[in-house]
DNA sequence: CAAGGAACTGACAACGTTGTCTAGGGCCAT
DNA sequence: ATGGCCCTAGACAACGTTGTCAGTTCCTTG
């Protein structure tokens, strides 16, 4: 009479185990056993249940399951921005690990906003994720205290947690990378090296600057504030800064770019300033970038390479160790960086008079 | 006596609303009202409850909430690979939309594997996501039927669902883009244009090839299978293919690369084959890439640009329309592509004898 | 043949929350 | 003074699952 071809009750919404049980003529618990492949169900019964499951299109409700069992088999990942290649590589590594362990993954980008980091983390906690991997934007992680109390595991990646927050941490050796990159330029004869970093509040930016200063000091070179820019990589601002640097009375002969974004924007700025088609050699400046990027090989850009996938993998490994009961003291791992010479960082200083030739 | 400084019972695990209620001397339901900012609670009482919440570090259990309310305020996103720039831009757009609507986001990469796409989607469904955005890897979406029956909303992005699956779809105009790119090369005098695509089973790859053929036909040019490669972008394989193409008796004077990956790998292959530092001009070949990529501007690579962020935004908009009750017939949106001339696609055909000059 | 066990199945409570309904008390208008 | 209403608060069931425990059947074994 109705227009529903199904046999029996027309239920709106999803069938439950109860519906399946009724359809198969067994008890609820038996369905549960079949769904979870628990032993102790007669093959014939199991088949009947299985048939009912397929006929009704039954799908277990994991919210109920989670509520009952207390574990969610999911983890949360908070990064700075998925659209950034560094973080998307990291994401992918975490995703792989999660999949491998049978976990589902919540993802969110903080956009370098501490409040947003906190909201995301707490939302994940409300969903009762078993663990968290956090690239922190903020420096106060007091809000995590009740979560730790409740047994949640967290691993910090790329940047350490705020003071007073004890948790596993995986970092790159940012200061070491800054030293290496700077020392490389010094070894090629440069004495005036500009550092184009990100906001000084960002841990990695500050560390890399520290490494830069260490290398200068080790070589007996003075630290000149006029050669350092620490600000978010805005294209227009960077072009202006570079123009100012290059037309100064004692301009730099080499640049160290503080991260992937600044490297790329530096290349753009150089290209637009010098009009050179081959930005890699623009202005005869030597250039070392921090963080490798796609096509750096073709552009011949020397970089201090990090390994975001390894960072993600390591963080995930630590987390899953914790989730499987590991109670060791928290560890802090620093991953080495690797200098990849490709030409732009091996150019000797160009005497001032040759500059305009481009 | 114990070593726990807390007053009252020492509970392991998280405090519940019941615990908060006991601590504040009110009923469970009153706590619920406070937590959810429901009206009808005296300010003084609310303060008492709030204090208890903070003292105990209470955090609502969303699994229970979801179970009770039936809606999860979360959506699932299945893409091909987060680490790919195209999909990470798309992800970010979806993430923004989710945040804006107060939804949480599950993410997973299918790796071009239909079974994995299915597993991810079903896992998300088991978590009772309210909606799905899917970049399908497979071509059979029958497994979604029970989910649709249960009221889940799904939007397909970048590629259409398999036959028989009626759902909102947002695509790029792949055939149109293929036509545009090919016509552009033809307009610059090319008659022998190679097409370097991806696996023919991938919808976008097949569509772009179709556009290429349409443009050839429109210009009265023959379709030469020898100029077409349809396979996943493996670097070694691509180098071999390019070497074969370029040393053939009647080699192409221009290349149309089928997607971002193939464009980049083509550049690498050309650079390694010709030894040219400036890969953009390697071998004097004209080149148009499908899908824009970072630094294409600096390299001077002409592309048929898609807009992955817009794709994600549009898909999310459609999904949230559905989630807010929209019952219109399903729509299929095609987003226009945009040709961005940058030099590599505007080179005229180079006579064969000049080739080796590189 | 009785007793014991193995294999299978089911009844029931509990997970932590929210929706519905009811109850008490204070205040206003009649 | 009394009925009625609003404001506040709580009791209780229900969401769909899983863990515990108890029951039934049937087979083995002494």
Average pLDDT, chain A: 91
The pLDDT value given to residue A1: 35
Band the pLDDT of A61: cuts 50, 70, 90.
very high
Q: In sequence order, what are the residues at sequence separation of 6 or more whose Cβ sits closer than 8 angstroms to the Cβ of residue B354?
A: B284
Task: Indicate whether B144 pLDDT > 60.
Answer: yes
Q: Alpha carbon of A27 to those of A45, B67, B178: distances in Å?
A: 11, 22, 58
CA distance B317 to B155: 10
Distance B50 CA to C28 C1' (A): 32
A38: nearest nucleotide, CA–C1' criterion = D18
| Burial of B357: CB neighbours in 10 Å, binned 0-12, 13-18, 19+ | exposed
| Burial of B101: CB neighbours in 10 Å, binned 0-12, 13-18, 19+ | middle
Task: Flag residues 36-55 of A with CB < 7 Å from strand D.
Answer: 36
Q: Domains in chain B, ordered, with CATH?
A: 17-60 (1.10.260.40), 72-172+308-336 (3.40.50.2300), 174-306+340-357 (3.40.50.2300)
Average pLDDT for B209-237? 97
Q: B337 with B180: CB under 8 angstroms? A: yes
Q: B85 with B54: CB under 8 angstroms? A: no
Percent of chain B whose pLDDT exceeds 70: 92
Whether residue A128 and residue B268 make contact (CB cut-off 8 A), yes or no, is no
CA distance A131 to A191: 47
The tokens of A74 are what?
A: 């999911």
The pLDDT value given to residue B114: 97
Looking at beta carbons, which residues of chain B come within 8 Å of A92?
Answer: 81-83, 109
CA angle A258, A262, A267 (to 5 degrees): 120
A30 touches strand C (CB under 7 A): yes
Average pLDDT for B215-244? 96
Q: B107 with B129: CB under 8 angstroms? A: no
Looking at beta carbons, which residues of chain B come within 8 Å of A66?
Answer: 63
Distance A100 CA to C7 C1' (A): 35
The pLDDT value given to residue A174: 98
Percent of chain B whose pLDDT exceeds 90: 86
**Higher local confidence (pLDDT), A61 or A5:** A61
CA distance A121 to A137: 11
Band the pLDDT of B276: cuts 50, 70, 90.
low
The pLDDT value given to residue A351: 64
A64 touches strand C (CB under 7 A): yes
Whether residue A298 and residue B267 make contact (CB cut-off 8 A), yes or no, is yes
Distance B64 CA to D15 C1' (A): 8
pLDDT in tens, B28-86: 999 999 999 998 899 999 999 999 999 999 999 999 999 999 989 999 999 999 999 99
Q: B335 with B307: CB under 8 angstroms? A: yes
Average pLDDT for A64-80? 95
Distance A36 CA to D28 C1' (A): 31
A40 touches strand C (CB under 7 A): yes
Q: A158 with A311: CB under 8 angstroms? A: yes
Which of A14-28, A269-283, A295-309, B55-69 has the lowest average pLDDT? Answer: A269-283
* E runs forming strands in B175-270: 193-197, 228-230, 254-257
Q: How many CB pairs under 8 A join A and B?
A: 161
Band the pLDDT of A143: cuts 50, 70, 90.
very high
Total H helices, total E strands in chain B:
13, 12
- Name the residue with the least CA to C1' distance from nucleotide C10: A27
- The DSSP annotation for A71-137 comes to ---EEEEEES-TTSHHHHHHHHHHHHHHHHTT-EEEEEE-TT-HHHHHHHHHHHHHTT-SEEEE--S
A64 touches strand D (CB under 7 A): yes
Looking at beta carbons, which residues of chain A come within 8 Å of B92?
Answer: 81-83, 109
> Which position has the token pair 């989910």?
B147
CA distance B57 to A256: 46
The tokens of A322 are what?
A: 């914790």
Whether residue A128 and residue B61 make contact (CB cut-off 8 A), yes or no, is yes
Band the pLDDT of A350: cuts 50, 70, 90.
confident
pLDDT in tens, A241-290: 999 999 999 999 999 999 999 999 999 999 888 765 454 455 689 999 99
B41 touches strand D (CB under 7 A): yes
Task: Indicate whether B147 pLDDT > 80.
Answer: yes
> Any idea of the CA torsion for A80, A81, A84, A86, to the nearest 10 degrees?
40
Distance A319 CA to C17 C1' (A): 29
Q: B255 with B287: CB under 8 angstroms? A: yes
**Phi/psi of residue B75, nearest 5 degrees:** -130, 160
Of A14, A128, A297, the CB nearest to B150: A14
CA distance B322 to B302: 38
B331 DSSP 8-state letter: -
A159 DSSP 8-state letter: S
The pLDDT value given to residue B352: 54
Task: Indicate whether B358 pLDDT > 50.
Answer: no
Whether residue B62 and residue A147 make contact (CB cut-off 8 A), yes or no, is no
Whether residue B82 and residue A61 make contact (CB cut-off 8 A), yes or no, is no
A21: nearest nucleotide, CA–C1' criterion = C10
Q: A92 with A116: CB under 8 angstroms? A: no
B67 touches strand D (CB under 7 A): yes
Band the pLDDT of A121: cuts 50, 70, 90.
very high
Of B70, B147, B294, the CB nearest to A294: B294
Task: Indicate whether A328 pLDDT > 80.
Answer: yes
Distance from CA of B107 to the nearest CA of A (A): 6
Whether residue B82 and residue A81 make contact (CB cut-off 8 A), yes or no, is no
User: Best of B98, B107, B110 to disrupt the A interface by mutation (most A CBs within 10 Å)?
Assistant: B107
Phi-psi region of A199 (alpha: psi -120 to 50; beta: other; left: phi over 0): beta
A14 touches strand D (CB under 7 A): yes
The pLDDT value given to residue A7: 37
Task: Flag residues 277-306 of B with CB < 7 Å from strand D.
Answer: none
Looking at beta carbons, which residues of chain B come within 8 Å of A128?
Answer: 61-63
């Amino acid at each position: 009479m109705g227009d529903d071809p199904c046999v029996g009750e027309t239920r709106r919404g999803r069938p439950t185990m109860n519906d399946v049980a009724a359809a198969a003529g067994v008890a609820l618990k038996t369905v549960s056993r079949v769904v979870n492949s628990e032993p102790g169900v007669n093959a014939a019964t199991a088949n009947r249940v299985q048939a009912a499951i397929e006929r009704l299109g039954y799908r277990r409700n994991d919210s109920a399951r989670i509520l009952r069992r207390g574990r969610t088999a999911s983890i949360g990942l908070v990064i700075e921005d998925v659209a950034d290649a560094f973080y998307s590589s990291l994401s992918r590594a975490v995703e792989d690990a999660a999949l491998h362990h049978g976990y589902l993954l919540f993802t969110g980008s903080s956009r370098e906003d501490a409040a947003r980091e906190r909201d995301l983390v707490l939302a994940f906690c409300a969903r009762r994720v078993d663990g968290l991997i956090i690239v922190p934007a903020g420096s106060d992680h007091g809000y995590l205290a009740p979560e730790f109390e409740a047994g949640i595991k967290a691993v910090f990646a790329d940047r350490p947690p705020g003071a007073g927050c004890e948790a596993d941490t995986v970092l790159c050796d940012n200061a070491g990378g800054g030293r290496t990159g700077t020392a490389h330029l010094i070894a090629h004869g440069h004495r005036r090296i500009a550092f184009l970093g990100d906001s000084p509040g960002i841990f990695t930016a500050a560390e890399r600057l520290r490494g830069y200063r260490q290398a200068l000091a080790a070589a007996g070179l003075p630290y000149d504030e006029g050669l350092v820019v620490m600000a978010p990589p805005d294209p227009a601002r960077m072009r202006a800064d570079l123009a100012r640097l290059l037309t100064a009375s004692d301009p730099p002969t080499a640049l160290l770019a503080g991260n992937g974004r600044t490297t790329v924007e530096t290349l753009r700025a150089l290209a637009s300033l010098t009009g050179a088609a081959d930005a890699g050699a623009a202005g005869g400046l030597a250039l070392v970038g921090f963080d490798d990027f796609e096509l750096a090989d073709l552009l011949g850009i020397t970089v201090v390479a990090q390994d975001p996938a390894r960072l993600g993998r390591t963080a995930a490994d630590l987390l899953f160790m914790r989730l499987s009961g590991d109670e060791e003291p928290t560890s802090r791992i620093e991953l080495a960086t690797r200098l990849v010479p490709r030409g732009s960082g091996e150019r000797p200083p160009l005497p001032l008079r040759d500059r305009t030739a481009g």
